């Protein structure tokens, strides 16, 4: 019955999504910025009437060439359909927005089968290949768009912990932080949970505060394929808050906030990056402590919690490009997860080479400090755990045209999986992005 209800909900949401798409803030040039064009004027006509559609496809081939669990890797892919409705234009509902993101993720499991990293190899790799609703929410804005309330299937990594200058990188830690990603049930790619999000921004759009409460276990772990909303006993809730300051207004390049093809990568950073934020998250349901036991010998029960701080900024600009840097760090209590402290930092350079102002170069490093309790639990299992797992990524995105990007990359891992028996590793690969 639960499975049937979930399928009906997914179908109903998709119908809603296809009946009302998003109005882009600026009229997009589908003919120039997408592979399939404006469909004989249809897409531009939809946009003028408050309807817009975003289609994309990503393909990656990442291969462990040295170290790790074993050499190898297989290609993986992601098909993405995004739809957003300005309900004021469509139905006279002032301040109302509907957003749907339907995707398929499948293919190789390079990290699972060949690397074994706690930090991950690709932000497109998923445990189970499946179609899934990633976003399906309704938002109401008020007070001249200074406040908003959102309800529905919502991934926190679309707005919380976001570093837009780090979006170039393929490794997962530059999205949701590595410590949070390893907890019992964060609502992040590619399995999001039902919940509520509230947000306030100042009149000048520079200060903001937001918070979200979501189901503590996204989807249905017993049925990992498809879209499910299931509030099971023991799920509890996942709570997160973030406050921040953006000294510069800049065009958002997040796919959840813009229609792909409406701006080139060069345009996406037209005003530069500038952001400082701090956040805190926790789960209401308790989980087993990794080490501590009670008087009866049963694991102590703990509530997982953590914090983070981040900043990103445009450091230098020139006529055809710019240099931006980012830093993020934080940690957890270390009672129930492997990573107790983390640190990410890097740079992103647009227009590094003459005549290639839309190309982007990136260099980033992330470090996961392994908690004492995790190391103790691994020792009991006969595994010698290291104190740190770290990785560096170097990449260069070649913007062939407005709808095709080709991105070769290299990753280097130290202590994959925080397992002393697994040798340091190297990954070589390429990512291809198509705006359809």
Tens of pLDDT, residues 354-363:
999 999 999 9
| pLDDT for 271 | 65
pLDDT above 70 (res 419):
yes
Distance CA 356, CA 99 (A): 34
| pLDDT for 40 | 87
pLDDT band at 182, cuts 50/70/90? very high
SS3 label, residue 231: coil
pLDDT above 80 (res 112):
yes
Element (H, E) at 110: helix 110-110
- Higher per-residue confidence, 253 vs 170: 170
Number of domains in the chain: 1
pLDDT above 80 (res 296):
yes
| pLDDT for 261 | 35
Distance CA 104, CA 76 (A): 11
For residue range 10-35, what is the model confidence (pLDDT) as tens digits? 433 443 433 333 333 457 788 888 99
Under 8 Å between Cβ of 97 and 132: no
| pLDDT for 221 | 85
- CA 296-301-306 angle, 5° bins: 155
| pLDDT for 249 | 53
| pLDDT for 231 | 86
pLDDT above 60 (res 340):
yes
Query: What mean pLDDT do residues 208-232 have?
Result: 91
For residue range 222-273, what is the model confidence (pLDDT) as tens digits? 888 888 888 888 899 999 999 999 986 544 433 344 333 333 333 444 567 8
At 302, which CATH number? 2.40.160.180
| pLDDT for 234 | 86
Q: Are strands 274-283 and 76-86 parallel, antiparallel or unpaired?
A: unpaired
Under 8 Å between Cβ of 360 and 325: no
List, as one string, the DSSP characters of 383-422. --B-SEEEEEEEEEEEEEETTEEEEEEEEEEESGGGBTTS
Mean pLDDT of the chain: 87
Residue span of the structural domain in which 288 resides? 2-435
- Higher per-residue confidence, 250 vs 280: 280
| pLDDT for 270 | 54
Query: What are the phi and psi torsion angles at 417 (to 5°)?
Result: 70, 10
| pLDDT for 26 | 56
| pLDDT for 42 | 85
Query: What mean pLDDT do residues 136-153 have?
Result: 95
Distance CA 252, CA 213 (A): 24
pLDDT above 90 (res 43):
no
């Amino acid at each position: 019955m639960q499975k049937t209800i979930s399928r009906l909900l997914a179908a109903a949401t998709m119908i809603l999504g296809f009946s009302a798409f998003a109005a882009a803030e600026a009229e997009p040039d589908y003919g120039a910025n997408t592979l399939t064009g404006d469909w004989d004027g249809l897409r531009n006509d939809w946009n003028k009437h408050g309807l817009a559609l975003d289609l994309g496809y990503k393909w990656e081939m990442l291969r462990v060439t040295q170290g790790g669990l074993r050499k190898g890797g297989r290609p993986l892919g992601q098909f993405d359909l995004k739809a957003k409705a300005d309900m004021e234009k469509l139905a006279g509902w002032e301040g109302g927005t509907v957003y749907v993101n339907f995707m398929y993720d499948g293919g190789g499991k390079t990290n699972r089968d060949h690397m074994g990293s706690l930090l991950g190899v690709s932000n497109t790799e998923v445990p189970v290949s499946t179609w899934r609703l990633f976003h399906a929410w309704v938002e109401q804005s008020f007070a001249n768009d200074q406040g908003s309330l959102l309800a529905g299937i919502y991934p926190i990594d679309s707005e919380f912990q976001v570093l837009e200058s780090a979006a170039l990188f393929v490794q997962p830690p530059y999205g949701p932080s590595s410590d949070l990603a390893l907890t019992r049930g964060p609502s992040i790619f590619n399995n999001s949970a039902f919940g509520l999000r509230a947000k306030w921004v100042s009149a000048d759009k520079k200060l903001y505060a937001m918070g979200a409460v979501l189901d503590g276990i996204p989807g249905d772990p017993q049925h990992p394929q498809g879209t499910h909303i299931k509030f099971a006993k023991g799920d509890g809730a996942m709570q997160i808050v973030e406050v921040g300051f953006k000294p510069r207004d800049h065009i958002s390049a997040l796919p959840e906030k813009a229609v792909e093809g409406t701006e080139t990568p060069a345009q996406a950073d037209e005003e530069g990056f500038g952001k400082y934020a701090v956040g805190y998250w926790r789960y209401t349901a308790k989980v087993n402590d990794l080490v501590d036991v009670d008087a009866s010998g049963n694991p102590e029960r703990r509530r997982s919690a953590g914090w983070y701080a981040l900043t990103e900024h445009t450091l230098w600009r020139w006529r055809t490009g710019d240099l931006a840097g980012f830093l993020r760090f934080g940690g957890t209590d270390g009672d129930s997860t492997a990573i107790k402290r983390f640190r990410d930092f890097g740079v992103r350079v647009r227009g590094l080479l003459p005549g290639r102002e839309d190309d982007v170069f990136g260099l980033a490093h992330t470090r996961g400090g392994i908690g004492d309790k995790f190391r103790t639990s691994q020792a009991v299992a006969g595994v010698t755990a290291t104190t740190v797992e770290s990785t560096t990524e170097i990449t260069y995105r070649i913007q062939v045209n407005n709808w095709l990007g080709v991105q070769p990359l290299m990753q280097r891992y130290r202590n994959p999986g925080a397992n002393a028996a697994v040798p340091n590793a190297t990954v070589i690969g390429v990512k291809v992005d198509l705006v359809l």
